[in-house]
């Protein structure tokens, strides 16, 4: 792959289900999130060779990379309008990048596998519809590892960090607050408490201390209310591990999302624009 200047990494809040295809039903609910995602190409200042997306919606026994050159769609949601089960995001995959990721993981001593059939889940295709709506940039998904150990996923980020110098954009896709049983106005205070802690840990803490805070994220205020199960937070560990010594910046925040919750997205490393 071509070597060029280093790209930043991202942890994005990806929203709910197929929201880019539900603007009539959702109204302005996603306008601010959509604008933040659409601004990412401006921030990086060029078109990446490919995107490596670590989605909260894929877990495997080993870190598994998607090797399908033409990824199909995985409609991994329920209860949405019928037309949202026909949507397409037709970005190509990249078997070359998949093999490169697998080799980096193996070199780091991490368990790695390749899945030649896997398609895009909504943790990838929904935000990508806002980031690159023309689907012109190849996209490869990389799974979480079952057990969701923060240290393992920080190590994953360290292992794939060289991709940043190869014009590959690393994106962790989750949600900074994810408790579907506690949404809306009643979650205002607890989501704010955790979001404030998260911003402090990844933006207002020196990079050298950031890892230690994230390893013990479950001790944060309202942590287990914000994330009864942490699969939507763990992609953050990958983005941080891949930019370990670099500053973080909050690139998206609102405190009344979906009727009252605080949510955020972050960039690690400098923007080019």
Query: What are the tens digits of pLDDT across the range 166-188?
Result: 999 999 999 999 987 778 788 88
Q: What is the pLDDT of residue 187?
A: 84
DSSP H or E segment with residue 266: strand 261-268
pLDDT greater than 50 at residue 193: yes
pLDDT greater than 70 at residue 273: no
Q: What is the pLDDT of residue 208?
A: 84
Arithmetic mean of pLDDT, 26-52: 96
pLDDT greater than 60 at residue 4: no
Query: What are the tens digits of pLDDT across the range 139-157?
Result: 999 999 999 999 999 999 9
Arithmetic mean of pLDDT, 105-132: 98
d(CA 176, CA 127): 15
Q: What is the dihedral of CA 118, 119, 123, 127, to 10 degrees?
A: 150
- Please count the other Cβ atoms lying within 10 Å of the Cβ belonging to residue 174: 28
- Which domains, from first to last, does the chain contain? 9-268 (3.40.830.10)
Name 22's Cβ contacts closer than 8 Å, sequence gap at least 6: 80, 81, 84
Q: What is the pLDDT of residue 131?
A: 98
* Range 176-195 burial, b when 16+ CB lie within 10 A, else e: bbbbeebbeeebeebbbbbb
d(CA 1, CA 248): 27
Arithmetic mean of pLDDT, 231-251: 97
Q: What is the pLDDT of residue 2?
A: 41
Q: What is the pLDDT of residue 189?
A: 93
Arithmetic mean of pLDDT, 74-98: 97
Distances (CA, A) of 111 to 11, 12, 230: 23, 25, 21
Q: What is the pLDDT of residue 165?
A: 97
The whole-chain average pLDDT of the chain stands at 95
pLDDT classification of 272: cutoffs 50, 70, 90? confident
């Amino acid at each position: 792959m071509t070597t060029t200047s280093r790209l930043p990494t991202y942890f994005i809040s990806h929203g709910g289900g197929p929201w880019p295809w539900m603007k009539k039903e959702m109204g302005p609910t996603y306008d601010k999130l959509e604008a933040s995602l659409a601004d990412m190409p401006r921030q990086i200042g060029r078109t990446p060779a490919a995107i490596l997306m670590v989605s909260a919606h894929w877990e495997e026994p080993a870190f598994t990379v998607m090797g399908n050159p033409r990824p199909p769609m995985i409609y991994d949601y329920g209860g949405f309008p019928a037309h949202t089960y026909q949507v397409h995001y037709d970005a190509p995959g990249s078997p070359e990048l998949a093999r490169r990721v697998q080799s980096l993981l193996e070199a780091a001593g991490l368990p790695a596998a390749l899945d030649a059939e896997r398609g895009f889940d909504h943790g990838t295709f929904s935000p990508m519809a806002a980031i690159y709506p023309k689907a012109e940039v190849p996209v490869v998904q990389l799974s979480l590892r079952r057990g969701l150990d923060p240290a393992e996923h920080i190590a994953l980020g360290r292992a794939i960090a060289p991709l940043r110098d190869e014009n590959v954009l690393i994106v962790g896709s989750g949600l900074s607050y994810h408790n579907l049983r506690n949404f809306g106005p009643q979650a205002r205070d607890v989501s704010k408490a955790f979001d404030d802690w998260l911003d402090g840990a990844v933006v207002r803490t020196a990079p050298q201390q950031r890892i230690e805070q994230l390893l013990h994220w479950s001790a944060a205020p309202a942590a287990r209310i914000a994330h009864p199960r942490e699969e939507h937070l763990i992609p953050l560990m990958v983005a941080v591990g891949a930019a370990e010594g670099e500053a973080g910046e909050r690139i998206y925040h609102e405190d009344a999302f979906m009727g009252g919750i605080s949510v955020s997205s972050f960039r690690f490393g400098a923007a080019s624009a």
